[in-house]
Each structure stands twice: as structure tokens, then as C-alpha cells.
Structure 1
Amino acid sequence: MTVLTNALANFAARPVSTTAQARIVTSLSALDWLAVGRAGADEPVSQIVRNMVLAEGGAEQAKLFGGGAAPLRAASLVNGTVSHALDYDDTHFAHIGHPSVAVFPAALAVAQALDKPIVDLLEAALVGMETSIRIGLWLGRGHYQAGFHQTATSGAFGAAVASGRLMAFDMEQMKKVLGLTATRAAGQKTQFGTMGKPYNAGLASSNGVEAALLIQSGFETNPDAVEATNGFGATHLGADDTASALEGLGEEWLFENVSHKFHACCHGLHAALEAARELDIAEPEVAELKVKTQPRWMSVCNQLAPTTGLGAKFSYRTVIAMQALGHDTALPESFSDEVCTDPRLISLRDRISVEADENLSETQAFLSLLRRDGARREAVHDLLTPLSLSDREDRVREKASKLIGGETVDEIWSMLRTGGRAAELAARLGG
């Protein structure tokens, strides 16, 4: 049975009817991706991978975050890794994957080489990211829980489809590129907390480009390798949930519901930070504060007393104390070793408790604040609560401005919304 492969290949190869919301959200994700990539260009993992690629040399086909240019596969590896280095990119909770960091680097590299307009780049990226989400749904939560990193696995298929669409693949070529990607897609959650996590995103992007280039050159492969016996799903603990994966395909754009990060820390903390934002918590008024979260996050982001900035990014108590003390959690530099030793933060942190609540979803958090005057206030926030397009645009642009400057954001946003060539957009990667 190749129902999934046939449906996705047909979707990826034919003209699509996109919604205005899907197009705007895609443009916002492109801006967000560019901002976090430029902001992460000097991270150690970024420098290591970029230096390796530049030392190898080769055709200067695509620009790199941080400067320089490289062949398509290598550029995708660098730009995927760099843009996930800060772990500040968008997330889709349908499968718990980061679509943009896998797909945009591949799409932009290929679009540059083919001198495509930005509108074609964005459409190909949207189709690729939608494909990655659908593949992720087909694989199911068990695939993720078993230790596979959906950004790396389903993301590779999205990168391949976006590349193939820009290369004008027909349905048969799309089936082949999905089949070939099935033997390349890889990435483990065991890399979380190391340089291997952002590298997973780079691998997904590079693997997708490689598969597309080979199919374009006439490479033959098993087009049924995603669903076949001993294929990708069977060997990667896939749920084979074809019905969920294909529901509304071509009419409903699941990517519209992507969640942008507005705090430079683990996404598991964001619902709590947004609830605290709604309560407008300030340190002097806090007698005690209780946080309730979905149990799965307790082992991920409930470090009780971290001593490093990296640890703070995985600590409910620390990030909420930071916010209450006026630290801007949208700025990566706010998460420092020094902030963890601040006596005022430690005092407030010790008035905050965290507990699991199975009645909450993975995207929800509940906060209960007891003020010093005896009043109690409560808030619940769900990251899946839709933002209006205008509010989403304001918050993404505000975040991007903090990372790379308002003038640069205005320039990039104008290009994304009014057109131009992909190569002109890529020229902004270097900073």
C-alpha cells in the first residue's frame, strides 16, 4: 500500500491553492528563521560546522549564515544547523517538530541556484513544511517517544519535497524523492542538550537536498520505501496513521497553526511564561506562585535550581522569576550564569512551586498567584490559542527586531511581502 506516498507526491507536484493566512504565516516563519539564524551564527556549533564546510571548499552556490558560500548540500547543512543553534525557531505541536529549520535552508539553497523569485521559494517551503507535518502525523507520537527527533526525520521529507518542487518534479519524481529520503532521514532525541540537536536539523535539510539532486539526475530508487514492508515507517516505529496524515490535505493547511517562540528557552516553558505575562507578575507582590504543567514536561524543563544560563532555559521557576524581575526572556543573552546567582532571583524562585497535572495538554499551563496582600489570581494559557494575524506579525517582528535590528527586519519583511529574487533574500544571511 502506498496511499500516503501517492497522496503526498500528488500534493507536492501539482499546483496548490494556498490561503492568505498560510502565505502570511509562511512569510513570518521565514522572517523568524532568518532572525534566529543570524542571531545564532556565532554559536560554537555554528562556527564548527561552517568552518568545516568552508575548509572543504567547492562551488559557491548558496550563501551561509555568518558569511561565505558553499555547494547546495553543504549550505543546507550549515544553515539548518545554525538556525537551530539557539533552539529559538518555530515548533509545530501536531508532531512536535521544528519545520522551518529543516525546510527553509533547503528551499533557499535550491531557489538561489535556480534564480527563483521569492514567491516560488515561499510556496515550495510551505508545501515542504506541510509535508513534514503530515509525515510526522503518519509516524505518530510513538515515533517521537521512542527517541526519534521529528525535526530530523519528518523534516528531511519536507526538505526533499520543497527542493523537488523548485526543480519542477512531476508526481513520479516526487514519489522517488520521498522513497530515497526514506533511506537518509535520521536523528535521535538522545542528542538533545548537545551540539547534535541543531546538527539534526542541518542533516534533515542536507539530506533532502541530496535526495532531490540525485532524483533530478536520473537516480533510481524504490518509490515505495516510506510505506513498504521493512520501509521507513515499519523500521522507525511509525504508527501508519494514514487517515490523520491525509485529512484535509490540499484544502487545510496545518502549517497555519505553527507556534512561534517568543521566549529564548525550551518551548515547554512558553505556556507558563505567557500565563505569567497575562497576570503581569512583578516580584514585590509575590507571596507564592504555583505552576501546573503537563507531566511530560516535568522531566524536560523543571530544573529546580540551575546554576548556568543553559540550565535556566529548562527551568520553570527560573524563567518565571526572571520575567517577574524584568529580564527580557526574548533575548538569548538574558539567560546567563550570572542571573542564576542573583539573590533576588533565588529568593523569588524559592516561592515558586511546580507540579504535574494530567488534565493539562502539552501546550497548556496553569498559574496560581498568591499576592502579598492576600489576593489570589489565576491564569491558564494554551499555546494553540490562535493569535490574530496582526498580533502574530507584531510579536514576530518585535522578536526579530530585538535579534537583528528594526531596520534589517523592515527590509527583509518588505522583500518577503512584495517580492524579489531568492538570491537577494539569501544575501541577508551574512549579516
Structure 2
Amino acid sequence: MQPVNGDITTLLIDYASATPPQSARDVMRLSVLDWAACGIAGAAQGEFSNWARGLGTSGPSTGFDGIARTMPDAALVNGTLSHALDYDDTHFDHIGHPSVVVCSAALAVGEAQDAPLASVIDAALVGAEASIATGLWLGRAHYQIGYHQTATAGAFGATIAAARLLNLTPAQMRHAIGLCSTMASGLKSQFGTMGKPLNAGLAARTGVEAALWAQTGMTAAPDGLAGPLGFGDTHHGAGDPVKLDWRMPRVSHKFHACCHGLHACLEAVRDIPLADAQQITVHTHPRWLTVCNQPAPETGLGAKFSYAHVLAMTASGHDTGDIAAFSDACARDAGMVRFRHRVQVHADPQLTEMQARVVVDGTTYLHDLDTPLSLDQRTARLMQKARALVGARADGIWAAITNGDRAGLVQLLTS
């Protein structure tokens, strides 16, 4: 694997035809399970039901709401619904949620193409890798200035996933990437609103549309991503060199139904009794202090962004992996409000964004989300999460994925 000196477009085209290693496939299959469970649970919330009904209702691809639509509209609906709970996987190399975008695009195209499920999963995998690589190429400044990498880098990943399934030529892929470059968008200002999951859905739709349009012969700038006045130039892209690599095995799945910035802290004390703790000090990367350090949340949503409250929940025996546990009543519970005063949070620039150090009455516990989980450990925890989200249907979904049953998987997504 040789470094690519700024030619990100060629790198993305290379991903489209790459053969993934089995280790990456194994993790991607688990991400498909996670995406499916999050999408089914997101559709059950009903928050987006009125919006989705306004879209077309005829086509070859199925949405989590059970409605058949065109490929782009199905990708839009599924990308949005699977990110609605913000409980899907995150890749911290570029701080983005890859699976909600690329799985939604890949299944929409794969179903319409009658592609084997193994091909759909491989397409989603190379799409995820392409989105992460694009995010790395754009650099952290792109994210810090206000762009939502799930939406921006994710759109290019969706383009590659769709292009692989549509068997586009390298020339067509270059045009598809150019078309995506003029459509990709998404802002962090939408965080905390329905606009955030919509960003993921729009990215999935953009990728499918760009690939379909290139297939019909539509052309674009020869390098709309990295060329002069291209996406990188105009969106604070650093143009950092990136090589073809397999990064999805390091994806971080959410095992707690709250902001990912809280997860290292919760994992550090996962097996530690906290009920009688008198003083808890959390040391975390400075970035998280402006994201998930609400000291006194009054709503269930606010509780998902509070070190003090999730530790109070843990001490009280509440399951932080259960979305229903993050209720307004829980946020206002008098016992947990009292416990929150025992928690202090400090920034430590020596820690990475994946690490937390928690001191409980003088004893220190450290956790790094980069610590590898074995495939069996990851599978067990994701099955536990999926069952909590969708019940026994989780077992059927996993069986369909492992057996390569695309039709069975689609049926379970909507039944």
C-alpha cells in the first residue's frame, strides 16, 4: 500500500475495486447489524414519519418505514432514520459516522440491482473506507470550522459504495466524484436538531444520485474534489496525504445511548460499584468539555451530554445502553441530582479524544476506546445492544447477515 500524494480522487477510485481483508468484512457485518437495529428503532420513534410520507412511494428499494421508493429516496430515508437516535457507530480518525451513510446507499442500490448481500456489504465497506480516507484528507480543520464529516466525507463514501455496485468504469467514477463534490454538504450547526440525522440521509442520497447520473453519461470537473476551486479548496480541506488502508476494524460502536465523548468514562467504571462513592473526578480530552459536560441537565436529551448524570445513572443501576433510560424523569430524579454534585470534570490535553481517566475516591481507572475488542466480544455486546433496541428480531437480522440472505434482511428491516 503506497502513499497517495494528494490524489484523493484516484485513491477513492482504487477503493471501489479493492478486495477487502476478512478482518474488515467481519467488522463491517457487525456494523450492518448495528445500522439495522438503529434504523428500525429510529423509525419506531415516528419523529420523521410526516417528512418521509412526503417523499415518493414507488420504486425498487425499501425503507425502514416499509415503503418502496427510488434508490436515492430510499437511501435518504434510511440514512436519516438510522442516525435519528445518534446511537450508530463512529470512526474517530475523522470523527464521522460512516455506516449510516454507506449502508443506506449500498442497500438501496444493491436491492435494486438484485446484488448478493455479500456484494452489498463489500460495497458498504469500501464506501466506509473511502469516507474515512476523505475525512483524513480533508483534515481536522474541516471538522473544527463547522462541517459535519458524516455528511461531507460520507457523501463521497456513499458515491464509491454505489459506484461499485453499479459497476461504473474508472472514468465514470471520476465524474461521479466530481458530481458529489458539487453537492456534498452538512453543518455541525444542525447538532441537537432533526437536521443532524437528515445530514446523514442527504449524504447517502447524494452518493447514489452522483453514481446514477455518472452512469447515464453526466460529466463533471475532472477533479472536483482536489482540483482548483474544488471541494477541498473551498471547504477548508488540508489536502493531507492518505494511503489505501483498512481502517474500519478500528470503528467504535456505541454501547451506551449517549454522546460518544462519555463512553470512555463509562467503560472505565463499567465494573466498579459507584453507589457509595463520595468523590468522582473525570479527566477527559479538552474537546469534550464543550460537547458533553452539561453539569445539571433537566431533560433526557440533555442527560445524554452530561458526565455527571451518566455516572449518577450508573451508580443508581440504570442501564446507559437503554435509550428509554434517558428520560426527562431520570434527568430530574432527586437522588441522581444529588449524586451529580459528587462528580467533577477536568480537561487533560495529554489524553486523546478516545481516553478518559476516572478517579473514584482516590483510585484511578483508565479506559481507551482504541483498545481492541476481540470479534467475539464485539459481537456479544452488539447483539446485546441490538436485542435491547429491536428485541428478538435482532437474532433474525444477524442470521440473515451471516447467511447472505439479502431478501430476508430487507423483510426484517420493515416487519
Letter in 1 for 2:65: G
Determine the C-alpha separation between the residues in 1 that align with 2:65 and 2:363.
46
Greater mean alpha carbon deviation, residues 37-46 or residues 104-113 = 37-46
| SS state at 1:367 partner | strand
Q: How many percent identity over aligned positions?
A: 50
Q: CA contact under 8 A between 2:289 and 2:347: conserved in structure 1?
A: yes
User: Could you tell me which residue of structure 1 aligns to residue 124 of structure 2?
Assistant: 125
How far is 1:46 from its partner? 2.4
Q: Which secondary structure state, in structure 2, belongs to the residue aligned with residue 6 of structure 1? A: helix
Q: Is the 8 A contact 2:135 2:149 kept in 1?
A: yes
Conserved 8 A contact 1:9-1:172: no
Aligned match for 1:412, one of 376, 397, 403: 397
Match of 2:255 among 249, 252, 262: 262
Which amino acid is 1:353 matched to? Q
| Correspondence list, 1:234-249, <5 A | 234-242=233-241, 245-246=242-243, 249=244
Q: Which amino acid aligns with 1:50?
A: A
SS of the equivalent of 1:286 reads: coil
Match of 1:323 among 314, 319, 331: 314
Change beyond 3 A, Cα 1:306–1:131: same
Trace 1:214-225 onto structure 2 (pairs within 5 A). 214-225=213-224
Q: Using the alignment, how far apart are the partners of 1:7 and 1:66 within structure 2? A: 35
Cα deviation digits, residues 238-280 of structure 1 (max 9, x gap): 00002xx22xx1xx311111000000000011011101214x2
2:26 matched residue in structure 1: 24
The gaps in structure 1 that reach 5 residues or longer are 371-375
Cα distance change of structure 1 residues 48 and 268 upon mapping to structure 2, 3 Å threshold: farther
* Deviation at residue 68 of structure 1 after TM alignment: 1.5
1:72 equivalent in structure 2: 71
Aligned to 2:364, which of 378, 398, 406? 378
2:298 equivalent to 1:307: yes
Give, in whole Å, the separation in 2 of the partners of 1:341 and 1:181.
Answer: 45
1:138-217 alignment to 2 at 5 Å? 138-217=137-216
**AA of the residue aligned to 1:38:** I
Deviation, structure 1 residue 4: 1.8
SS of alignment partner, residue 182 of structure 2: coil
Instruction: Kindly indicate whether the alpha-carbon contact (under 8 Å) linking 1:290 and 1:369 is maintained by their aligned counterparts in 2.
Output: yes
Letter in 2 for 1:118: L
RMSD: 1.3
Contact 1:115 1:423 in 2 (8 A): no
1:427 and 1:7 mapped to 2: Cα distance?
35
Query: 1:103, 1:162 within 8 Å by CA — same for their partners in 2?
Result: yes
Question: Which residue is 1:428 aligned to?
Answer: 412
- In the alignment, residue 306 of structure 1 is paired with which amino acid? P
Q: Does 1:273 align with 2:270?
A: no
Structure 2: tracts of 5 or more residues without a match: none
Preserved contact between residue 258 and residue 305 of structure 2 (Cα < 8 Å): yes
Determine the C-alpha separation between the residues in 1 that align with 2:146 and 2:216.
34
Q: Match of 1:6, as an amino acid? A: T
1:144-172 superposed Cα distances (whole Å, 9 cap, x missing partner): 00000000000000001100100011211
Question: CA shift at 1:79, angstroms?
Answer: 0.6
> For 2:371 and 2:83, how far apart are their aligned partners in 1?
24
CA contact (8 A) 1:75 1:109 kept: yes
Deviation at 1:45, TM superposition (A): 3.8
Q: Name the residue aligned to 1:110.
A: 109
Q: Do 1:308 and 1:340's aligned partners in 2 also have CA atoms closer than 8 Å?
A: yes
Residue 52 of structure 1: how far off its partner (Å): 1.9
Q: In structure 1, what is the Cα distance between the partners aligned to 2:46 and 2:283? A: 35
- The normalised TM-score by structure 1 is 0.93
What TM-score do you get using the length of structure 2 for normalisation? 0.97
AA aligned to 2:367 is H
CA distance in 2, matches of 1:215, 1:306: 48
1:351 aligns with 2:322: no
Give how far 1:44 is off.
Answer: 4.7
* Cα contact 2:20–2:126 (8 A) shared by 1: no
1:76-104 CA-to-partner distances (Å, cap 9, x unmatched) read 11110000000000000000000001111
Alpha-carbon deviation of 1:2?
Answer: 6.9
Q: How many angstroms apart in 1 are the aligned matches of 2:237 and 2:88?
A: 25
